Amino acid sequence: MNLTLYIHPLASYCHKVLTALYENGTAFSPVIVDLADEKSTSALLALWPVGKIPVLHDAARQRTVPETTIIIEYLDRHYPGATPLLPVDEDGRLEARLWDRFFDLYVSTPMQKLVLDRIRPAGKGDPQGVADARRTLDTAYEMIERQLDKRRWVVGEAFTIADCSAAPALFFASIIHPFAPHQGNLKAYLDRLLERPSFRRAIREAQPYFDMFPYREAMPERYLCL
């Protein structure tokens, strides 16, 4: 097996890359990393001393590829499948890259801020940071709602890298910071993402780990039986 992906099944950024891999049926070997265990992390750190996941290793090309966006672009270039995850035309590629970064920076990042604040020791919370994160999500939700007007996927009719980024970001963010009642485009979009077999598979694989999620009590019941 040429490709090895170092992951944790509950990590949203890992779901982003898993969705891309499953979308095209790309063969790979997953290695689950316990970042709290020195033995478990040793192979990862040997490849990528920063220690963040996911990380892709390509034995055939002797390449280690970190960072989710770069991993997906690498796969699209060297292991293409039936679903090109970056549009062929340059303007389309730029828009897909823009929205990929948008979901990472303005949905995933504030979502993770809220998750990490929930597990801080008592008295060590960051109320201002939490309030800022929620405001960022409010702004992002409104922008996504407008972007999705008359669009099936984020940049049009084709499923792209931007949707791979959107899927786990919105899945977890919607639990922690629900959509507003008027955001029907956003809700319908998340429903379409949950129906996409590639993302659905990633979430099903994460289900045994849901009890580790700090907002587990707020998780909709339907997420447990996808």
What's the confidence (pLDDT) of residue 75?
Answer: 97
Residue ranges per structural domain of the chain: 3-78, 90-206
What's the confidence (pLDDT) of residue 62?
Answer: 94
What's the confidence (pLDDT) of residue 34?
Answer: 87
Task: Give residue 145's identity as a one-letter amino acid code.
Answer: E
For the stretch 113-149, pLDDT in tens is 999 999 988 888 899 999 999 999 999 999 999 999 9
What's the confidence (pLDDT) of residue 179?
Answer: 98
What's the confidence (pLDDT) of residue 140?
Answer: 98
Cβ 54 vs Cβ 48: under 8 Å: no
What's the confidence (pLDDT) of residue 151?
Answer: 95
Topology classification of domain 3-78: Glutaredoxin (3.40.30)
Q: Using alpha carbons only, what angle is made at residue 191 by residues 185 and 197, rounded to the nearest 5 degrees?
A: 135
What's the confidence (pLDDT) of residue 69?
Answer: 98
Domain 90-206 part of CATH 3.40.50.970: no
What's the confidence (pLDDT) of residue 190?
Answer: 98
Q: Please state, in angstroms and as integers, the Cα–Cα distance from residue 194 to each residue in 39, 91, 187, 204, following that order.
A: 35, 28, 11, 10
Same CATH fold assignment for domains 3-78 and 90-206: no
For the stretch 151-165, pLDDT in tens is 999 999 999 999 999
Number of other residues whose CB lies within 10 A of the CB of residue 197 = 10
Q: Concatenated DSSP letters for 159-210?
A: --HHHHHHHHHHHHHHHHSPPPTT-HHHHHHHHHHHHSHHHHHHHHHHGGGG
Over residues 24-28, the mean pLDDT reads 96
Cβ 111 vs Cβ 137: under 8 Å: yes
Q: What is the pTM of this model?
A: 0.95
Residues sharing a CB contact under 8 Å with residue 94, sequence separation 6 or more, in sequence order: none
What's the confidence (pLDDT) of residue 39?
Answer: 83
Q: Please state, in angstroms and as integers, the Cα–Cα distance from residue 18 to each residue in 12, 79, 208, following that order.
A: 10, 14, 16
Residue 224 has pLDDT above 90, yes or no: no
Cβ 20 vs Cβ 85: under 8 Å: yes
What's the confidence (pLDDT) of residue 40?
Answer: 84
What's the confidence (pLDDT) of residue 61?
Answer: 94
pLDDT band at 36 (very low <50, low <70, confident <90, very high): confident
pLDDT, averaged across the chain: 95
